[in-house]
Amino acid sequence: MNLTSLKEGDIVYISKITGKGSYRKRIMEMGFSPGTQVAVVRKAPLNDPVEYEVRGSRVALRNVDALGIEVEFIASKPDIFTDNRKLTLENRKASVPNANKSIVVALMGNPNSGKTTLYNALTGERDRVANYSGVTIDLSRKSFRYLEYNITIVDLSGIYSLNAVNESDCSIRKFLRDGQPDIIVNVVDAGNIERNLYLTTDLIDMDTRMVIALNMMDEFEQKNQILDIHKLGVLLGFPVVPIIAKDNQGIDALMQKIVAVYEDRDVEIRHIHINYGYPVESSIHKIQSEIKKHCSHELLRLYSSRFLSIKLIEKDIDTQHFLSTFSQSKEIIAEADIQIHILEKEFGIDSESVITSKKQGFIVGALRETLQKHPMLSGEERGKFADSILTHRFWGIPIFMFFLWLMFFVTFQLGKYPMDLIQSGVHVFSDFVAGMMSEGMLKDLLIDGVLSGVGGVLIFLPNILILYFFIALMEGSGYMSRAVFILDKSMHKIGLHGKSFIPLVMGFGCNVPAIMSTRILENKNERMITMLINPFISCNARLPVYLLFTAAFFPTSSATVLFLVYLLGVVLAILTAILLRKTVFKATEMPFVMELPPYRMPSVSSMSIYMWDKCKEYLKKIAGVILIASIIFWSLSYFPQHSSRVIKSQQEELMQKKSHRYRYCSKRKCYYN
C-alpha cells in the first residue's frame, strides 16, 4: 500500500521508500523517511495533489511522487490533528506487529565471485556452486527473519557490467527496474578486485543503496597484499565489509551493515559521481537535461537520469529500447547522438571506449590509494606452472581425454565393490521378506516386482556418486574453465563458442539444467545449436543401462567400452552441430572472452552437497518412475494367471506319475521310456 491509496483522515507510518537517485533524496529531505508517521489532511479538487502532515509540517505531494512511498495503516479517525494522535515507536510496534520490517536484498557480482556461496551462507540453502562462470542462470529467492526484519535475498546471475550484452544482462536490468530491491550487495572477489569493481562503477552511476561484500579475503591475505578497506569505502561512497562466505566469516557484520544502510544511519554512505572529465561530463549534463524535460517522474523514480545518460553514450540497446516507449524519446535519442558524435571526434575513439577508459581510470586511482601489492607468492607460481602443463598447446587435449577416461575407469572399477555389497544386501533382504510371507500375489509383487526392479537399479548408485565426485572436482578446482580454454579451437571448428563446452559437459549429469545453462551464450544461433545437440550427451539416467550392457557383453573391458559409448554420443553431437551450422543456423560468431579463475581446492562441504543433491534426484527417480515401471512389467508377466497355473499344475502331476511308475517297475527290473 502506498500514499495514493489513502483517504482523508488516515494516519499511517512509512514502511519503505522505493526509487533511486534524486527522487529518493528529495522525498526524504521533505521528511518522508521510513518509520515516520504521516497524516492525510486533504485532497485537491481533482484528488491531485494531496496535502500531508509529516514531522509537524504540511507538505503537498503529487500522486505520481507518492507512488514510491509505501505505508502501513495505523488508524482512521477524523480528529487527526489532536495531540494524542502521535504514537511512539514502541506503541507503533505493539499496534502493528510487522511494522517497517521488509527488506529486499539483491546479490550482484561478477561470475565466480562467490555470490551463490554467500547466498547459501545467508539463507541456509544449498544451491549449486562451482569455480567457473555460468553456474547461476535463474535467480534464487529466499526469505528469513533477522532481528525484527523480514529479509528477502535474491541471488542474480553473474555479470561483468550493466550493459545489455545478452539476455541475462537484460533480465537483471529488468529486475532492478521492476523488482526495486532496497539494498544491493555487490559481491567483489578480493583477489580480482580491479576487474570486479567495474560493475561497482555502474552501480554507482545507478545511484542505488549498496553494500560491498569483499569476498575471499583468505585468498587475498595469502597473496601478501594489504588493502585499506575503510578508505576504499570512503572513495566509493559505500561501506565495504570483508567476508569469507565459504567459512561463514563476516556474515553477521554484513547483515548489520545491510540493516544500517536500509535505515539510513550508516555514516560511510555518501553519494558520489564518478568524474569523467570535462567533455564527457558536459555531454552527460546535456542529455540529462533532455531526459528531465521530456520524461515523467515515474521514469526518474525507476532510473537515475545520470545513469540513463551514461548508458546512452555507451550506445546501450536496452536503454534505447526502454526510452523509446515514451512519447518524447526522439528528442532524447537525437541529443544523445549529437553528444556521441562530439565525444568520438574529441577523443578519436568510440564513445563506449571513452566511458570504459574513464571508469578504469577511476578504479586504478582508487586502488592506488588503498591497495599495496607485494611480489608474487609460491601459490600463484604453482598455478602458473599447472597451467603451463594442463593448458599446453600439444598436451592439453590428451591430458583432458585421459582425465575423462580415468573418470569412467574409476567409476566402473572402484564402484563395483559397493555395487556387490548393495546387490548382496538386496538379495538378503529379499530372502528375508520371502521367508516372512506366505505364497501369493502380494509376495510375488514384493519379491519379483518391487525388490527385483528397484534393487536392480539401486545397485548403480555408487557409480553415479563417483561420477559426480569427479565432475564436482573439476568444477570446484577450476579445471573446467581450462577445459573450455583448450577445447575452444575444436569447438570453433564445428561452429560453436568455447563456452558451449560447459553446457555439453553438464549434459553428462542431466540434460535439463544443461540446456538451461546455454543462456550463458550471447549468440542466439550458437545457443540453439548447443541446445539441439545436448541430448546426444549421455546423462546419468542412461548410465545404469550402459553399465548393465557393458558388464554383460564386455566383462573384461567394461570401462573402455563405456568410455567409447560416451565418446560416440560426443561424435554424433559434433556431426550434428556441423550440419546445423552449415544449413539452419548461419550467423556471425561472438568473440571468445572467458575468465580463467585461480586454482582452488574445492571444499568438502560443497562437493558433498553437490553429490548428495544428485543422489537425491536419482533416488527420487527410483521411488517414482522406476518403481511404477517395475510394477507394470511385473503385472504384464504375472497376468493372466489362470491358464498358466492350469498348465503348470498338469505338468507337475504328469511328472509325479512318471516318477512313481519308474520306481514301481524298477523293482522288477523293467524299464519304460
Q: At residue 562, does pLDDT exceed 50?
A: yes
Torsion 185-37-73-43 (CA) sign: negative
Determine the pLDDT at residue 24. 66
3-state DSSP assignment of residue 75: strand
β-pairing, 183-189 vs 210-215, is parallel
Determine the pLDDT at residue 660. 53
**Which residue would you say has higher pLDDT here, 92 or 578?**
578
Span 430-476, pLDDT tens digits:
888 888 888 878 888 888 788 887 777 777 778 778 877 887 787 77
Torsion 616-621-622-627 (CA) sign: positive
Percent share of the chain, pLDDT over 90? 10
Of 262-276, 310-324, 481-495, minimum mean pLDDT range: 481-495
Q: Is pTM, for the whole model, over 0.85?
A: no
Determine the pLDDT at residue 243. 93
Q: Is-cis flag, bond preceding 375, omega within 30?
A: no
DSSP element (H, E) containing 152: strand 149-155
Span 537-550, pLDDT tens digits:
887 668 778 877 88
**What does the buried/exposed string (b/e) look like for 287-321 if buried means 16 or more CB atoms within 10 Å of the residue's CB?**
bbebbeebbebebbbbbbbbbbbbbbbbbbebbbe
Distances (CA, A) of 130 to 193, 379, 507, 603, 631: 19, 20, 16, 10, 39
Mean pLDDT over all residues of the chain?
77
Determine the pLDDT at residue 376. 54
Instruction: Give me the mean pLDDT over the 136-140 stretch.
Output: 61
314-323: long-range pairs with CB below 8 Å, 24+: 314/163, 314/351, 314/352, 314/355, 315/340, 315/350, 315/351, 315/352, 316/163, 316/164, 317/164, 318/164, 318/169, 318/170, 318/173, 319/164, 322/177, 323/295
Instruction: Give me the mean pLDDT over the 551-563 stretch.
Output: 82
Of 254, 226, 251, 252, nearest in space to 240 by CA:
254
Q: At residue 168, does pLDDT exceed 70?
A: no
Alpha helices in 519-603 (DSSP H): 524-533, 543-553, 558-583
How many Cα atoms within 13 Å fall on the side-chain side of residue 388? 6
Instruction: Give me the mean pLDDT over the 137-155 stretch.
Output: 82
SS3 per-residue string spanning 442-488: HHHHHHHHHHHHHHHHHCCHHHHHHHHHHHHHHHHHCHHHHHHHHHH
Q: Which residues pair with 153 in a beta bridge?
A: 105, 142
Instruction: Give me the mean pLDDT over the 556-577 stretch.
Output: 85
Give the model's confidence band at 195: pLDDT under 50 very low, under 70 low, under 90 confident, else very high.
confident
Instruction: Give me the mean pLDDT over the 265-282 stretch.
Output: 84
Residue 637 grid cell: 508377466
Contact 300, 22 (CB under 8 A): yes
Percent share of the chain, pLDDT over 70? 77
**Which residue would you say has higher pLDDT here, 179 or 260?**
260
